[in-house]
Amino acid sequence: MDWQLIRKMNQNTRASIMDAYRMINKTLNEEEPDQGSHYWFRVNGFKGDLGLMVLRPQLTDLTAVEALIAKSALGTILQPSRSFVSVTEVGTYTGKPKTDRGWGYVNAHLKPQLPTMNYICFYPMNKRRWPGANWYELSYDERQKEMHEHGTIGRRYAGKIKQYITGAIGFDDEEWGVTLFADDPIEIKKLITEMRYAAASAVYGDFPYFIIGTKITENDWPMLLSVNEGGAE
């Protein structure tokens, strides 16, 4: 966020930014079932200020959301920091579901409604292609065995963490994105720490960066825009 610009804004201009946010959020909230979801958050640390995760059926739908924000009054105070474009996926090593419950799990991850939990963690990842540690040279059975350990660890956090995997090969610089939601950020840290010791991560995983954030709602925006003004009111 362009804090220098925000400091110079008068109350009317800030009000127009709030109106733009409400308009954008109204548009985002008009999502039909299984056709989209979104989550606004404050980024903790100095990698950014504001984050938005958006799910849509088509890339053209994402482009429309990007343009809507960029052309609005809200867009005037935003400076793009980083983005990640990917597609929702389910694990490819668990086999085809055999029950309605299994298919329900698949559909909930392919077309999710993002949770309202208070914290979000996003990180991209790659599978290494190093001599002696090349994930893509392993057989399917070997990769399935490695990922089974990951799944076992993840199931211990059921109810505490919601996890979504998105595939980005050909869409972005890294191969996958992992998004975790929780009401206690320490649970996120514990899960990722445990998984670091699994071979699929310890030997074959590469994690360029992590972003942790706190959910924000419309009620949080007035305080977000409230700074010590450098201009006249």
Q: Which of 39, 123, 157, 204 is catalytic?
A: 123
DSSP one-letter string for 101-122? HHHHHHHHHHS------SEEEE
The number of residues in the chain equals 233
Q: In angstroms, rounded to a whole number, what is the distance separating the alpha carbons of residues 48 and 122?
A: 13
Locate 195 and state its tokens: 């998984």
Active-site residue flag, 136: no
Q: Return the residue matching tokens 């329900």.
A: 104
Q: In angstroms, rounded to a whole number, what is the distance separating the alpha carbons of residues 10 and 119?
A: 32
Q: How many CB atoms lie within 10 A of CB 5?
A: 14
The distance from CA 209 to its chain's CA centroid, rounded to whole angstroms, is: 13
Active site amino acids: 123
